[in-house]
Structure 1
């Protein structure tokens, strides 16, 4: 039960997965805006939407690249990684926030009166955290998000998300984050600073770090990075947070 759908006429699209209502005691348990890695809505992203839909959530996975290239579906090859980096560097912070707002509205319409979460991975984790500084929803679940406290590209803008920790608190989302200690994008020192910023701002949160684990550890299609034990624990925490906050 997943298809591409237009969220605005001639504008942003999303890959939308709906739960099979016949298999559930209620039509849906809430809705999730899934923010994918820089590889777009690829095979792995589709398995995530299917997993979440099977658990009873409506899933809206926006195509954040739509202004440059539609329905991007990259593999994890070195060549596609370079293509993803080019596309990611073309993203604009304010456009991302606008697109996240459209996706949130679509998710609210599918939530059947329950809450909405943003769940993001890597680049998508950054987008989910950024969205929580500008929009109001129930949960931001972040797998190894990048650029929380540093800028340097249009997607981040002059003010990284955790410089706006007070806005995170105002928006009200509970922030759940998971990362590997060997993450080359998100060093342990930055994760500790994130903990301090969230605590100081009064943001409800839980940040988890897995020893000896690398960036991208949840993706089975990346065998050099994949860690089954960390992945299982991370999803257990995410599932519990979704059940609690949605």
Structure 2
């Protein structure tokens, strides 16, 4: 999970705060202009999903024809334009995509325009109390069930097909919890530079892996350096239950998949995206 040591690492690698802001703006612009939703027949809107904890605001985008649904869990900086752009790109590949605001219990999205704004605006301090509510396993479970129920009520969703979900940074564990929460519907879980996937806690995501769900766990090289045992724990856990899991350490740093991140790596991000589409092609 992204933390202050990651941000300190950006600066050690020569990414100053000013450069960080510039990279974030350029990356966000690139992502936002990648897909013209209207031009490729997409429909998008902000929606409200009722959960046991309140009203969750979310972004929903889908093609003209009913399609399998995907939940895209944001990173620590929350629901913002770059995540909408990523959702549009996925929708253009034939999926009905919802991007929830993970901090809806406290305030509506966006909380930050981009990751540069998160960094310069004291993001870690601001999200601390929000994140403690959002990332609790039981809270994620409630949210996942509410999202699946909402998706299954949409004409844009092909309910004959399974649901997938993908998460970035703190959203990585959400994907495993969601699959465990609604196993009959959520059949694919993809974590990109996710944190806390293998811990000593009884609710650690690695203990929630299950047969019948396809997993893609893409680990950042710097996260692997901090917790080198995690990949082996995850592989062993998947093997023990007979779960199909692709677990790989990528030659890129935490945040490499998100275009407004200062360590965005377009080559490795594209490779991860291709593996994501392959997972969904097999499981949904």
Q: State whether TM-score is above 0.5.
A: yes
Matched, 1:16 2:60: yes
Contact 1:6 1:13 in 2 (8 A): yes
TM-score for both structures, normalised by structure 1: 0.84
Contact 1:30 1:116 in 2 (8 A): yes
Matched, 1:239 2:277: yes
Q: Which residue of structure 2 aligns with residue 159 of structure 1?
A: 203
* SS at 1:90 equivalent: helix
Rounded Cα–Cα distance in structure 2 between residues aligned with 1:184 and 1:196: 16
TM-score for both structures, normalised by structure 2: 0.74
The structural deviation recorded for 1:179 is 1.6
Rounded Cα–Cα distance in structure 1 between residues aligned with 2:282 and 2:172: 20
CA shift digits 1:213-244 (9 cap, x unpaired):
11111122122x21122111100111111122
* SS at 1:60 equivalent: strand
Contact 1:108 1:116 in 2 (8 A): no
Moved segments of 4+, more than 6 Å: none
Matched, 1:90 2:133: yes
Contact 2:166 2:172 in 1 (8 A): yes
Q: Which residue of structure 1 aligns with residue 258 of structure 2?
A: 219
Written as runs of structure 1 = structure 2, the 5 A alignment for 1:1-246 is: 1-8=43-50, 11-19=55-63, 21=64, 27-74=65-112, 75-77=114-116, 78=119, 79-91=122-134, 92-109=136-153, 110-112=156-158, 113-136=160-183, 137-150=186-199, 158-165=202-209, 168-169=210-211, 172-183=212-223, 187-211=227-251, 213-223=252-262, 225-246=263-284
Runs of 5+ unmatched residues, structure 2: 1-42
Change (3 A) 1:185 1:68: farther
Rounded Cα–Cα distance in structure 2 between residues aligned with 1:174 and 1:241: 7
C-alpha RMSD of the superposition: 2.1
Answer with 1 or 2: which has the greater Rg. 2
Contact 1:32 1:116 in 2 (8 A): yes
Contact 1:145 1:186 in 2 (8 A): no
Q: Number of matched residues?
A: 229
Q: Whose RCO is larger (CA < 8 A, sep 6+)?
A: 2
